[in-house]
């Protein structure tokens, strides 16, 4: 069995299915992806509740909202001034290019969409991949601090390796499978939260008996 798949099955049997991402609509998932930047999810939930209560959880209404009002509603998510600007930039892009329709967006290829999202100010690789995977159902593996923490603790890749190196590890080491990518990332977050805090409790880690391995050298990226 492929080494990464072995880790996946280990985590899956330990934690069970995660069924990410919490959100009623693809648009809500995209908004959540921006709000959760460097922020605890419980705080994001409060911000999303505020948006819902104000009737602002649609692209059109949110786009028309003055930025100060938007910042006020998302306040519990932290960095509210920055995130209001980032949401606004995403909405400008989303309304102009796709008329506020996630379905239209979905018709484009993963690679093209990823480039477009990365060109939006405030959307970096992790946020772009979260939107692609969880909102648009495109197989783009999400790398976050937890994934890096867990993999580096197990000697698979150096923590300082780049986002793209980490992502290629998954894209090259796994079949391109939406459900697998979806669950695997969520499981890494669970693992990182539970077991790989800065003071690791490796004796209780579900991966403690996984044999260490080194990743194959990363090839130059190829268009998806």
Partner DNA sequence: GACCAGGCACATC
Partner DNA sequence: GATGTGCATGGT
Query: Where does this chain bind DNA (CB under 7 A)?
Result: 20-22, 32-33, 36-43, 46, 75-76, 78-83, 120-128, 130, 134, 144-146, 160, 189, 192-193, 197-198
Least Å from the CB of residue 105 to DNA: 17
Cβ proximity to DNA, 6 vs 80, nearer residue: 80
Least Å from the CB of residue 1 to DNA: 27
Least Å from the CB of residue 19 to DNA: 11
Cβ proximity to DNA, 8 vs 146, nearer residue: 146
Cβ proximity to DNA, 122 vs 173, nearer residue: 122
The length of the chain, given as a count of residues:
224
**Contact indicator for 138, 113 with CB cutoff of 8 Å:** yes
**Contact indicator for 180, 8 with CB cutoff of 8 Å:** yes
Cβ proximity to DNA, 7 vs 133, nearer residue: 133
Least Å from the CB of residue 116 to DNA: 13
**Contact indicator for 58, 64 with CB cutoff of 8 Å:** no
Least Å from the CB of residue 194 to DNA: 10
Cβ proximity to DNA, 4 vs 35, nearer residue: 35
Which tokens is 21 given?
A: 């991402």
Least Å from the CB of residue 50 to DNA: 10
Cβ proximity to DNA, 107 vs 121, nearer residue: 121
Question: What one-character-per-residue DSSP string does 87-116 give?
Answer: HHHHHHHHHHHHTT-HHHHHTS-HHHHHHH
- Count the helices and strands in the chain (H runs, E runs): 12, 0
Question: Angle at CA 66, nearest 5°, toward 62 and 69?
Answer: 85
Which tokens is 147 given?
A: 């994934």
C-alpha dihedral over 18, 179, 124, 69, to 10 degrees? -60
Cα(147)–Cα(24) distance, rounded to whole angstroms? 26
């Amino acid at each position: 069995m492929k080494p990464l798949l072995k880790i996946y099955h280990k985590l899956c049997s330990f934690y069970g299915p995660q069924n990410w991402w919490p959100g009623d609509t693809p648009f809500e998932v995209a908004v959540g992806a921006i709000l959760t930047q460097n922020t605890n999810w419980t705080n994001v939930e409060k911000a999303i509740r505020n948006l819902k209560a104000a009737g602002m959880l649609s692209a059109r209404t949110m786009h028309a909202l003055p930025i100060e009002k938007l910042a006020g509603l998302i306040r519990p998510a932290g960095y509210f001034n920055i995130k209001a600007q980032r949401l606004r930039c995403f909405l400008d892009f989303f309304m102009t290019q796709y008329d506020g329709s996630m379905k239209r967006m979905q018709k484009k290829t993963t690679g093209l969409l990823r480039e477009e999202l990365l060109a939006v100010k405030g959307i970096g690789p992790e946020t772009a991949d979260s939107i692609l995977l969880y909102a648009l159902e495109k197989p783009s593996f999400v790398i976050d601090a937890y994934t890096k923490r867990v993999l580096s603790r197990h000697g698979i890749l150096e923590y300082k390796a780049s986002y793209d190196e980490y992502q290629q590890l998954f894209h090259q080491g796994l079949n391109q499978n939406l459900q697998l990518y979806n669950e695997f990332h969520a499981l890494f977050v669970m693992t990182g939260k539970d077991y790989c805090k800065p003071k690791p409790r490796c004796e209780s880690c579900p991966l403690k008996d996984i044999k260490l391995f080194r990743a194959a050298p990363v090839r130059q990226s190829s268009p998806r």
